[in-house]
């Protein structure tokens, strides 16, 4: 129930903040410059999102090629999706949060903070692969053994 209350509060609080900021900036700059500024931040955000998305995709490919789990890179991709959605939402508050999601050092600090707080689970020992000898336990049988009425393990 706690996350629902937070989402409900954000659902009402963020639009109020956006309306307040739009009114303040609009009274300072004027109506049309404010509208143009909102459109400009959306276009700039889309351009930066494309750049950061391609760079993150390349880091995912590199991690997979090196045999590492691209956990941090995938979390960065999720933050880029959130940042892109916030940048396409009209308003200055959501744009500020969206641009924070697009700045690589801030994005990584937020991911590390979320992992340390337990908000995001670290999987696979932080992306480390197991190197060295490993013993596997199992059973095997031959298909022609079934013809000799030997029970096959299930």
pLDDT at 34 over 70: yes
What distance in Å separates the CA atoms of residue 104 and residue 80, rounded to the nearest whole number? 10
DSSP 8-state assignment for residue 131 = -
Flag whether the pTM goes above 0.75: no
Residue 152 maps to a domain: no
5 within some domain: no
Domain of residue 72: give its range.
38-123
Kindly report, residue by residue over 122-143, the tens digit of the pLDDT.
Answer: 555 444 455 557 777 778 777 7
Summarised one tens digit per residue, pLDDT across range 72-81 is 888 899 999 9
User: What domain count does the chain have?
Assistant: 1
Q: For every residue of 2-27, which 3-state class applies, written as one string?
A: HHHHHHHHHHHHHHHHHHHHHHHHHH
């Amino acid at each position: 129930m706690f996350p629902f209350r937070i989402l409900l509060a954000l659902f009402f609080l963020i639009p109020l903040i956006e309306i307040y900021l739009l009114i303040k900036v609009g009274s300072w700059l004027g109506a049309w410059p404010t509208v143009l500024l909102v459109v400009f931040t959306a276009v700039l955000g889309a351009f930066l999102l494309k750049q950061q998305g391609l760079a993150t995709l390349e880091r995912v490919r590199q991690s997979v090629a090196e045999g590492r789990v691209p956990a941090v890179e995938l979390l960065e991709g999720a933050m880029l999706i959130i940042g892109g959605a916030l940048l396409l939402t009209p308003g200055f508050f959501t744009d500020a949060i969206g641009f924070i999601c697009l700045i690589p050092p801030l994005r990584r600090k937020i991911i590390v903070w979320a992992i340390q707080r337990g908000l995001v689970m670290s999987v696979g020992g932080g992306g480390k692969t197991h190197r060295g000898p490993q013993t596997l336990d199992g059973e095997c049988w031959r298909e022609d053994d079934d013809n000799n009425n030997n029970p096959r393990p299930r």
